[in-house]
Amino acid sequence: MALDQYFEPAKYEQDIYRRWEESGAFRADRDSGKPPFVISMPPPNATGTLHTGHAVMLALEDLMIRWRRMCGDEALWVPGTDHAAIATESVVIRKLQADGMKDPRGELGREELVRRIAKFVEGSQDRIRQQIRAMGSSCDWSRERYTMDPQLNRCVNGVFARMFRDGLIYRGPRIVNWDPYLQTTVSDDEIYHQDRPAKFYTLRYGPFLVATSRPETKLGDTAVAVHPDDERWQHLIDTTFEVPWPKGPTLTIRVVADTSVDPETGTGALGVTPAHSHVDFEIAQRHDLPLIQVIGEDGRMTEAAGETYAGMTVEDCRAAFVAALDEANLLEKTEDYTQSTSLCYRSKKPIEPLPKEQWFITVDKPMVSWRGRRLSLKQVLREVVADGEIRILPEHQEKTYFHWIDNLRDWCISRQIWWGHQIPVWYRGDEDVYVGHREPLGDGWIRDPDTLDTWFSSALWTWSTLVDTELAADPEIGLAELLRRSPDVQRFHPTSVMETGYDILFFWVARMILMTTYATGEIPFSTVYLHGLILDTDGDKMSKSKPETCVDPLETIEEYGADIMRLALLIGNAPGKDLKLGNERLVGGKRLINKIWNAAKLVDVTVTRIVEGLDRKLEKHEIGILGEVNHPVNRWMLSRLGALIERVDRRLTDYTFGDAAEIIRQSFWGELCDFYLEAIKVAPLSELEETAHVLSHSYNTYLKLYHPFLPFVTEQLWGELGGEGMLINASWPQADATQTWPDDTAGVDTVVRLVAAVRGVRTEQGLEPGAKIDVEIRPQSHASALEASATIIARLVRADQLSFAAGELATEGAAVAVDPAFEVAVRLGQADLEAERTRLQKQLEDARRFLDGLDKRLANENFVSRAKPEAVEKTRRDAEAQRSTITSIEERLGKMG
């Protein structure tokens, strides 16, 4: 075999992936009888491109799938894409507008706009599929799903209808988070907050002073709320008064007593704006207050705000109303303060609380049958994690999860857009309402125009992707029967691990638990692995505004290959840990792959040479099959390999994948490459048949251990070295308890430490790499192993003479290293001693000459007075450094005599 000079990803990766896919290695067999290991891929946006968040997700999930597949599990990784309702519709509408269409909704109508969006998505999906493939993802493409697939739509409609019948879904007026830019509602979890400078206004308000950061909403107030025990306002409770706003409406205000008011905050009187505040809406519900909507869905003031202000933007109205209040002496004071502004995470625009008729899921109603009890959705959400049925990694995220549950409100699931799963509700007249997974019979039915929140369909992902497509097409089959009769659901659900970013723990993970426990009576997964953010080298979130610090996965794969991209994301990775990704990680990964590739060349040459020198002929398939192993170094290699397998297994089982990768790297680089591959160059080890078997077996074991991390290069080398079949289908290595040999292993461990000690002395003494040394060893233990390995030690440390001391070491003129098992003295050989002395003397002369120049510069008054202070200080530091160097060289020359 003649390996290329180095591994070329562009030459090999696509072909390797094609062979994997065509071989059926990715396809899970539901009839195999093997224990299932299942991951549902978090579906990326069907119209998106691969970013670092996707890349780390794919690297981690593929690692788990490949590992468990090699361990003998029936590994299923379900790929798919998300329709990303709001984002996708917005992209297509902007594209149509850029092409000259002013009002795509009005000009095209719903059916045609949805058709165009679907066509746009269809044309974009291949791009994300190819990008997923480029990462080496061994997912089951035969089971690929899309959140708008007909069978998933059937599940969405079926769950909605069932929840409606169970009283868990209702429609009613509520304050929703309205995005005037996107023209739709957004859920609480789709909002983030940003501190911004603002003004805090205190207004004269009838007999009260009321403070607000949004004076324009006071045009829609209907009450003032005070605490029932606040003595200041007892005489006013249940009274009404009028507020004639300048240039605005005259309002009739009722004073209500409500325990939600904190009498210690502000003036203790709260202006109640039921139409534009979640809190105020709840107060209005308790006291039967009317709603006056003064801000419209377009973000402008309505006619209810008064003729002067109607049509103004919120910002313009605020400025005009404050000026009018000031002119009317109704503005008591204005203060600067920092306001936490609610923004939509999709549009990055401010949210406007507005009253709307919306569809909601109630989370507090005890209507869910769970483990023989009737619980609310919120209670089930808490119980499955608190009882340990679902484990969240890192564990500290459980506290965050529970905090979210404790503050969970009813989930608004309707959206005012056209792209997505249309709500399966039909109306006929004012009385008839039909809810179901198929259209109602008869004429006159009008379907609800709203669509469902994207997270509603995504929340069903772990099981809706497994339902039988033919059964789902039969409208006569109910949801429960569909689940019961779908073979993949019965075989592969619940899934094993949900791996995703900690930033969507509430967006998606919690909602999957909520919806799946209700719909299936099962948990969706047993483990939640939350990866951290991928940061730039400055520790900031990667941003296109700082391209010099960004790592683009697609560009990286093109330049370095997928293996290096994967390794950069996996080394040092741990649950919930943010990871800095810079060029140095990529360079380090390239060095490791080159090391693996070059080691394969040496393995192949060595095995071939040994086999060709044997008296008997060995068939290729016989190489690497272990028989009797007698040489201590070969026994040591197998023993260390067994210990490595156990350590890696523990790390993988504990989901500390970064630690596992580092443990393999250290063993491969240190034990195999630095010691064993060098040791087997020495006779008689270099001539033994057992060495060929141990070497082949050991290297192939490292390829197996590395395969989940570096699938492409390991697969290529497995084939080049004559491995049976494809590595992706090989069995995971097992530690052999019979291959420990404690005495031999401890003895060779001592040899390894001695070699490291002598190499350390060479480095500390600054010896030239080719300089020959004399080594004297005084064993304290394992003397036989040290003596038997004398030729190996001499080669590895480049010793000209190696001897063993019967008594005390001769330490004069030598550097000494001490270990519990030995003492070793290192000195240069005579010829190299003279050469080293000459080298050091020249180095000393150069250092003295350089120091003399620095001292003259510092003695020059013109330099000291005119040069920049930092330049003078640097010169002083350089002079001190040269003095230290001179002292060190003089000491070393003194020891040489």
What is the DSSP secondary-structure string of 857-871? HHH-HHHHHHS-HHH
> pLDDT class for 547, splitting at 50, 70, 90?
low
CB-based contact 712:16 (threshold 8 Å): yes
Nearest to 173 by CA among 88, 19, 282: 282
Is residue 546 over pLDDT 80?
no
CB-based contact 880:831 (threshold 8 Å): no
Choose the most confident range, by mean pLDDT, from 46-60, 283-297, 613-627, 797-811. 283-297
Nearest to 182 by CA among 422, 350, 407, 373: 350
CB-based contact 727:704 (threshold 8 Å): yes
DSSP 422-465: B--EEEETTTEEEESSSPPSSS--EE---EE-HHHHHTTHHHHT
How large a percentage of the chain has pLDDT more than 90? 69
Choose the most confident range, by mean pLDDT, from 490-499, 527-536, 679-688. 490-499
CB-based contact 535:568 (threshold 8 Å): no
Residues 6+ apart with CB under 8 A from 873: none
Is residue 714 over pLDDT 80?
yes
Rounded mean pLDDT of 476-483?
A: 95
Cα–Cα dist 895/897, whole Å? 5
| Three-class SS state of 621 | helix
CB-based contact 98:671 (threshold 8 Å): no
Q: What confidence score (pLDDT) does residue 829 get?
A: 63
**In this structure, how many other beta carbons lie within 10 angstroms of the beta carbon of residue 154?**
23
Cα–Cα dist 121/128, whole Å? 11
> Residue holding tokens 């080394």?
571
- Range scoring the smallest mean pLDDT among 72-76, 372-376, 451-455, 502-506: 502-506
> Residue holding tokens 């909403």?
217
Is residue 545 over pLDDT 90?
no
> pLDDT class for 507, splitting at 50, 70, 90?
confident
> Residue holding tokens 């040394």?
773
Q: What confidence score (pLDDT) does residue 539 get?
A: 81
Tens-digit pLDDT profile for residues 855-871: 888 888 888 888 888 88
Is residue 456 over pLDDT 90?
yes
Q: What confidence score (pLDDT) does residue 633 get?
A: 95
Q: What confidence score (pLDDT) does residue 832 get?
A: 58
Amino acid type, 274: P
- Exposure b/e, 818-841, CB count within 10 A at least 16 = b: eeebbbbbbbbbeebbebbeebbe
CA geometry: angle at 702 spanning 696 and 707, to 5°? 125
CB-based contact 74:34 (threshold 8 Å): yes
Query: How much is the mean pLDDT over the chain?
Result: 91
Rounded mean pLDDT of 51-62?
A: 92
- Range scoring the smallest mean pLDDT among 17-21, 260-264, 517-521: 260-264
Alpha helices per DSSP H over 328-396: 377-386
CB-based contact 250:243 (threshold 8 Å): yes
> pLDDT class for 895, splitting at 50, 70, 90?
low
Q: What confidence score (pLDDT) does residue 259 get?
A: 92
Residues 6+ apart with CB under 8 A from 782: 746, 747, 750, 821
Compute CA distances 334 → 208, 617, 625, 655, 713, whole Å. 16, 96, 85, 55, 67
Q: What confidence score (pLDDT) does residue 827 get?
A: 85
Q: What confidence score (pLDDT) does residue 836 get?
A: 62
Is residue 91 over pLDDT 90?
no
**Dihedral sign, Cα of residue 142, residue 146, residue 148, residue 152:** positive
Rounded mean pLDDT of 65-86?
A: 95
CB-based contact 44:122 (threshold 8 Å): no
Rounded mean pLDDT of 410-437?
A: 92
Cα–Cα dist 188/76, whole Å? 33
- Range scoring the smallest mean pLDDT among 153-162, 497-506, 885-894: 885-894
> Which uninterrupted H or E stretch holds 54?
helix 52-70
Nearest to 66 by CA among 510, 827, 703: 703
Q: Which two three-digit tokens encode residue 582?
A: 């810079």
The beta-strand segments (E) located in 57-213 are 74-78, 80-81, 145-146, 169-179, 184-186, 191-205, 208-212
Tens-digit pLDDT profile for residues 345-389: 778 899 999 998 889 999 999 989 999 999 999 999 999 999 999
Phi and psi for 333 in degrees, rounded to 5? -165, 160
Inter-helix orientation angle 377-386/510-520, to 10° = 110
Is residue 231 over pLDDT 70?
yes
Is residue 830 over pLDDT 60?
no
Is residue 427 over pLDDT 60?
yes
Nearest to 746 by CA among 626, 642, 629, 632: 632
CB-based contact 89:418 (threshold 8 Å): yes
Rounded mean pLDDT of 316-330?
A: 96
CA geometry: angle at 23 spanning 17 and 29, to 5°? 115
Residues 6+ apart with CB under 8 A from 260: 225, 279, 282, 283
Q: Which two three-digit tokens encode residue 260?
A: 């939600």
**In this structure, how many other beta carbons lie within 10 angstroms of the beta carbon of residue 442?**
10
Measured in residues, the chain has a length of 897
Cα–Cα dist 174/871, whole Å? 68
Is residue 786 over pLDDT 60?
yes
Rounded mean pLDDT of 573-582?
A: 89
**In this structure, how many other beta carbons lie within 10 angstroms of the beta carbon of residue 106?**
9
Cα–Cα dist 517/524, whole Å? 7
